Amino acid sequence: MFKRILIANRGEIACRIIKTARRMGIETVAVYSEADRDALHVEMADEAVLIGPPAAAESYLAMEKIIDACRKTGAQAVHPGYGFLSEREAFPRALSQAGIVFIGPNAKAIAAMGDKIESKKAAAKAHVSTVPGFLGVIEDAKHAVKIADGIGYPVMIKASAGGGGKGMRIANSTNEVAEGFGLAKAEAKASFGDDRVFIEKFIVDPRHIEIQVLGDKHGNVIHLGERECSIQRRNQKVVEEAPSPLLDETTRRHMGEQAIALAKAVNYDSAGTVEFVAGQDKSFYFLEMNTRLQVEHPVTELVTGIDLVEQMIRVAAGEKLSIAQKAVTLTGWAVESRVYAEDPFRNFLPSIGRLVKYCPPHESSADGITVRNDTGVQEGGEISIYYDPMIAKLVTHAPSRAAAIEAQATALDFFYIDGIRHNIPFLSALMLHPRWREGKLSTGFIAEEFPKGFAVRNPEGEIARRLAAVAAAVDHVLGERKRQISGQLTGRLVQRERRRSVWLDRTEIALDIARDTDGIVVRFVGADGALGNPHVLVSPWKPGDPVWHGTIDGRLVAMQVRPIPNGIRLAHQGYEVAINVFTEFEAGAARLMPVGAKADTGKKLLCPMPGLVVSIAVAEGQEVKAGETLAVVEAMKMQNVLRAERDATVKKIHATPGATLAVDALILEFA
């Protein structure tokens, strides 16, 4: 077994690998760019080596720098994680020449399966059904249009060396192919150093299901069941689960057998994933193979009890698999949510900045429920513009799918982040979505269920009353604390009114509140002025705690609490609302206050996220039509096309290509 390994990666996956290596008694070496000098993986590793500037091409993608770091630190092997160099055939070859072991598949297997085009050719030879497409070299946009016309729309343009949704576009017309081809090539080049793309038929209403395989260097290959990864946005997975609610035992076995056959055909000898596109009728087609550890591997680990990182290390060290196929069992259900630094209320555009507050839910395993948080950040750390926007992967495991989803929803309510925008409100809302809970999934789920994006929602009914009750309880505890301040003038005992008017933005809810031993009792006031049934809130919350957690009538509830002027903001189950708790007298005065109007920004194009201006597609004085491209801004390796919302004339351009802009920075004005 290795004594010391180097992790050629960053963020949560580097931290994840370090945890297993530490448990196995293996020392770890981290590498880092100048942007990651204070990153968590640098702090966790036994040793760390600076390998270059922030740009990935000059640091995490620089093979010679990583090999040099191995030589300097005496690392015997390298784990590549996912992304960066993990699927580069040249990397294990270069390591081998330097006498360093690659913790991953052999170079020939990567060449055959890691390349999306070559993998489809290999699959066809192995008699695995594949999606119709063109796997040859595509010369230019004109050639791409001709191919797409021949296949029939819709088509998918996809980076050959890609993964994680980078360099991928779905096109429904000739124009979309012409535009998407260039964007896909540019993203592929920026993310993987390889701008080759291919085109294939896009299966309508598909599901994305993948099989985890594990092989050793002695010819043994097993599969560890499937993961459903159909909840995607912009071809990027958002929520994954294991097993899939679609598959039955027979279909699972057939998919597993095909995955193993494909892996054996290329002498696969590590952890890898065979991805399939599946129809709602349980038909399936080979999509691609990822010759690395997947982002979503934790759900498989939780339902099988097998540490995939440990197995990769043992296999790389020459050990035989200690697990037979018949010994692999799937127990319970696991759900994973990817917590991203992005603003769900602004079309999920990237958000960067410092993590002023970072309080994830506690990792635990009790009463049949496991909560796991794989992360690569810590409070005070910075979310950089240079890399993937992932903050953490929150995973829950329970005896049933319904219980795992419920545990995930509760854990998301406990997850408190400040300093940047994040997608927790969206993930929380998704966990409560009826179609998700029923398992009626497809890769178009988010586009279909949130066609206008994710907007601020006004809480109503039971959820509004729950928010009002917690807000009143928080206000009551704050009031109790104020009455305990020392040095107050003596005199008549302060008697606090029991009636409160709780405002959720401008929606008023009247209630009665009082302390009752360890709890707080809330009664809502009906339209006739009568008090409703008592609701008992019990919580250890104290002023300053970022999360209110406790029970309401015996049911576990958690809400994120953020102070605002003269009130609080509560976040719960996808709702975020500013709340004021008034006495009846204060409420009367508040009703007289005017409501401020928002500034009109309709004649300006503002930068929707921090990013680099790649291009400006218009000139001053030019007339543009709704839908036309105005500019392209790149952030976190994704190129975002900014389009005109309506017909207009460009009055003045304020930004230039190559400029780095802050969020809401002015790009151009319309007449």
Q: State the catalytic residues.
A: 288
* Residues forming a β-bridge with 241: 228, 335
C-alpha–C-alpha distance, residues 92 and 85, integer Å: 9
| Cβ atoms within 10 Å, residue 523 | 18
Residues contacting 495, CB < 8 A, separation 6+: none
C-alpha–C-alpha distance, residues 329 and 222, integer Å: 12
Residues contacting 222, CB < 8 A, separation 6+: 213, 214, 215, 260, 321, 323, 324, 325, 328
C-alpha–C-alpha distance, residues 17 and 88, integer Å: 19
Dihedral pair phi/psi, residue 215, rounded to 5°: -125, 165
Pairing of strands 567-572, 555-564: antiparallel
Instruction: Determine the number of helices (DSSP H) and then strands (DSSP E) in the chain.
Output: 17, 40
- For 55-204, where are the E strands, in sequence order? 77-79, 101-102, 133-134, 155-159, 168-171, 197-201
Q: How far is CA 649 from CA 600, 602, 619, 631, in A?
A: 17, 13, 10, 15
Pairing of strands 555-564, 547-552: antiparallel
Residue 533 is classified by DSSP as: -
**If DSSP codes are grouped into helix, strand and coil, which group holds residue 669?**
strand
